[in-house]
Amino acid sequence: MRSGQRDKGNQKTSGDYVGIDAILEQMRRKAMKQGFELNIMVVGQSGLGKSTLMNTLFKSKVSRKSVLATAQEKIPKTIEIKSISHDIEEKGVRMKLTVIDTPGFGDQINNENCWQPIMKFINDQYEAYLQEEINIDRKKRIPDSRVHCCIYFIPPTGHCLRPLDVEFMRRLSKVVNIVPVIAKADTLTLEERDFFKKKIREELRANGIDVYPQKEFDEDAEDRMINEKIREMIPFAVVGSDQEYQVNGRRLLGRKTKWGTIEVENIAHCEFAYLRDLLIRTHMQNIKDITSSIHYEMYRVRRLNENNTAVSHANGLPEHHLSAHEM
Amino acid sequence: MASTDVARQPDNGVRPLSLAGHVGFDSLPDQLVNKSTYQGFCFNILCIGETGIGKSTLMDTLFNTNFENFESSHFEPQVKLRAQTYDLQESNVRLRLTVVNTVGFGDQMNKQESYQPVVDYIDRQFESYLQEELKIKRSLHNYHDSRVHACLYFISPSGHSLKSLDLVTMKKLDSKVNIIPVIAKADTISKSELHKFKIKIMSELVSNGVQIYQFPLDDETVAKVNTTMNGHLPFAVVGSTEEVSVGNKMVKARQYPWGVVQVENENHCDFIKLREMLICVNMEDLREQTHTRHYELYRRCKLEEMGFKDTDPECKPVSLQQTYEAKRQEFLVELQKREDEMRQMFVQRVKEKEAELKEAERELQSRFEQLKRLHADEKAALEEKKRLLDDDQSSFGKRRAAAQLLQAQSLTANGKKDKDRKNSGFM
């Protein structure tokens, strides 16, 4: 059996409709029927407004604190990973949103290795997916619990990144998409904010930290252009709020203070709208794709290779001899 | 499905939540569609049917292109498959279409093995996808998916029933690919015959347990049209790339002395229905069924055949890694054993050869000795002869010498006598 030649180029005679583009509609229908999954992790010290920001992003009480009425709000002694899922729906599009909270991060006196439980959690999700994928009898749709995006909250000191921030982001940017944000940005003036952001970008570059959107995953020139604009703006300086106030005759989400009301969705006040647009309206699919086709694949390669080396060491056989045998 | 539906049970602790405002993730399907459009789509059709039944023409008509297929001969010794890939584009959708045609199907005298090349081809595509999926460093999203998504089986328009070749082939393929049977050259059957023919075909398929592709009914938007279409199976199609003017339009048709069969006229044939179902409504579902049902089945069977299990006899989950490592160890041990065996065999052979050579050498040596002896004997004999000859010669020589002497003596005696006589005579 021989395969034939390829006819490149448009061969359609004008006016004759075949219906190939109907596949877009079919895909859309399939996607709507299946629904979507999104897993977001929020990391930052307590008191930085993580829960509020999540609630603001999804315009409902999605954070753990709002859901579980905990009598005490004590800071836990060790880092815990708590996730909570919601089914939300908008205009027929159903989404299972999982918010993963990390109370206790950065709150201890000795914060060395505070990234470890988080790293372990992320890798455990990859592991669960891998195990299901290599099963003989596997589910039609493998439940996706992999962390798609990790929002890292930087306290608004106005100076530069702290060693904890650098260390965490350096390690985790290799396994998950990190979106850094400046929390409680209403404590910074515009000049302080710009200075802070520039400083942070420099430090990220100096430490080789690749945050989302990563330069190396830009697909084409158009992508690069869009992403460059975003890269010039990160980290987003955000303010979160789930309270509505009357401003100029409209009800808006904001924070009311004695000296004025900060409108959350006003881009002159803070960059929440950019963050929301990036995460939800334009790049959500891209975030999920990078997680599944790059971070997960890297984990898989590492995992499958380390099994080979473990066995080879046990048998005293040279590594290259075994790694040549792929299934 | 509204999230405020009270009757909905939260599963796995997932709560339905209502949103207080517009969040914006309703653009998610658009984002997904945009990405897919950017990547392009893949669709692979397999056409099975006898030579000359109209497979290539139908493909040309379906996709409004000239795929440049040449006619095949009827004298192929075996069934072969010919795959050709084309890049088509309509508005902003790019489709990589692969059309696989059978060559020589139904032409052989003995058609017992006709289905085998087709099954092998389908399995080969599954196998290469499986290989890619099992690789350590893989790139699935860039992988050109060559698995067969739809199989159009062309039934001869005999008007009576299916041939046994059809039944056998379809039975072998129904668990591997989505089969859509079509009645080819449907303009040779009259309307009433066609109706009876279709019923006969469907009942034969059912009674033989052949599972053809059913258009999906789970999505409300298309359930109705799919149900209707399911009732029209198999589609009676006519293909044509020639245009004939009917009324004031040019339409694709076949012109006969008694009339014009219009391809896109639903009263004349089911071509429109086929195009509708195959491309406009269910292309994505065909791809999905291939991946989630047929491919998974193949994968499961293949891995089980290789000896992998999900749970061992004690029903504890066995990881693929462990099984794989165990198998690899087995394999290496096996290799080692075979290597030893081969080495032994080699040594054995060498010994044998050595013995053989030694034997030959000995033989050679003995023959040499024999010849030498023979030679010595002959030499001795010759020497003897020579000696005798020499003796003879010497005795002859002696005798000659003696004779000569005698002669000489007698001569001188005679001379003396003569002289004496002479001398005495004178006196």
User: Which pLDDT tens digit goes with each residue over B237-265?
Assistant: 988 888 888 888 888 888 889 888 888 88
CA dihedral sign of residues B71, B123, A305, B328: negative
> Of the candidates A88, A91, A136, which has its C-beta nearest B17's C-beta?
A88
From A304's Cα to the closest Cα of chain B, the distance in A is: 7
Residue A182: C-alpha distances to residues A165, A235, A287 (Å): 12, 6, 20
| Residue A166 Cα, gap to closest chain B Cα (Å) | 30
Residues A23, B140: C-beta atoms closer than 8 Å: no
B251 burial type by CB count under 10 A (0-12 exposed, 13-18 middle, 19+ buried):
middle
Task: Decide if pLDDT at A312 tops 70.
Answer: no
Distance (Å) from the alpha carbon of B346 to chain A's nearest alpha carbon: 25
Q: Is B31 close to A285, i.e. CB distance below 8 A?
A: yes
Cβ contact B308–A33 (<8 Å)? no
Query: Smallest Cβ distance to A33: which of B87, B134, B219?
Result: B219
- What's the mean pLDDT in A204-221? 86
**Which of A45-49, A55-59, B238-242, B353-357 ranks highest by mean pLDDT?**
B353-357
Ranking A279-283, A305-309, B238-242 by mean pLDDT, the lowest is A305-309
* Angle between helix A296-315 and B320-426 (nearest 10): 50
Q: Which helix (H) or strand (E) holds A272?
A: helix A272-276
Of A69-73, A271-275, B16-20, B316-320, give the lowest mean pLDDT range: B316-320
Question: Does the model's ipTM exceed the 0.90 cut?
Answer: no
Closest residue of chain A to B292, computed from CA coordinates: A140
- CATH of A32-61+76-239+271-304, picked from 3.40.50.300, 3.40.605.10, 1.10.3720.10, 3.40.50.970, is 3.40.50.300
| Cβ pair B279:A85 closer than 8 A | no
With an 8 Å Cβ cutoff, are B25 and A86 in contact? no
Cis peptide before A235 (omega within 30 of 0): yes
**CB atoms A24 and B36 under 8 Å:** yes
Question: Which of B121, B141, B221 has its CB closest to that of A1?
Answer: B121
pLDDT at residue A24 is higher than 90: no
Region A208-223: mean pLDDT is 84
For residue B68, which residues of chain A lie inside 8 Å, CB to CB?
7
Residues of B in contact with A89 (CB under 8 A): 1-3, 16, 19
Query: d(Cα B294, Cα B46) in Å, to the nearest integer?
Result: 15
Which segments of chain B have a pLDDT < 70? 1-14, 69, 308-324, 417-427
Pairing label, strands A93-101, A82-90? antiparallel
* Identity of the amino acid at A86: H
Retrieve residue A97's tokens: 């949103």
Of B276, B283, B325, the CB nearest to A23: B283
Taking contacts as CB-CB distances below 8 angstroms, the residues of chain A near B327 are: none
Q: Quick one: pLDDT at residue B150?
A: 92
CA B414 – CA A312 distance, rounded (Å): 127
Residues of B in contact with A279 (CB under 8 A): none
Domain boundaries, chain A: 32-61+76-239+271-304
Q: What pLDDT, on a 0 to 100 scale, did the predictor assign at position B1?
A: 34
Asked if B25 lies within 8 A of A28 by C-beta distance, the reply is: no
Say whether pLDDT at A320 is over 70: no
Average pLDDT over residues A50-74: 74
* Start-to-end CA span in chain B (Å): 188
A141, closest residue in chain B (CA to CA):
B292
CA–CA gap between residue B24 and residue A98 (Å, rounded): 17
pLDDT at B412: 82
| 3-state SS string for A202-243 | HHHHHCCCCCCCCHHHCCCHHHHHHHHHHHCCCCEECCCCCC
Residues of B whose CB is below 8 A from A297: 138
> Cβ contact (<8 Å) for B33 and A96?
no
Q: How far is the alpha carbon of B366 from chain A, nearest alpha carbon, in Å? A: 54
> Which residues on B lie below 8 Å from A24 (Cβ)?
33, 36-37, 93
Nearest to B3 among A67, A87, A134 (CB): A87
- Cβ–Cβ gap A23/B20 under 8 Å: no
Q: Chain A residues with CB inside 8 Å of B294's CB?
A: none
Do B83 and A4 make contact, defined as CB atoms within 8 angstroms? yes
Are A213 and A231 in contact, with CB atoms under 8 Å apart? yes
DSSP-based three-state secondary structure for A181? strand
State yes or no: cis peptide before A213, omega within 30 of 0.
yes
pTM beyond cutoff 0.80: no
Q: Is the peptide bond before A103 cis (omega within 30 degrees of 0)?
A: no
Chain B: residue nearest A98 by CA? B14
CA distance B98 to chain A (A): 9
**Residues comprising chain B, all counted:** 427
Q: How close does chain B come to A187, measured CA to CA in Å? A: 26
Question: What sign does the CA torsion over B187, B190, B191, B192 have?
Answer: negative
> What was the pLDDT predicted at B6?
34
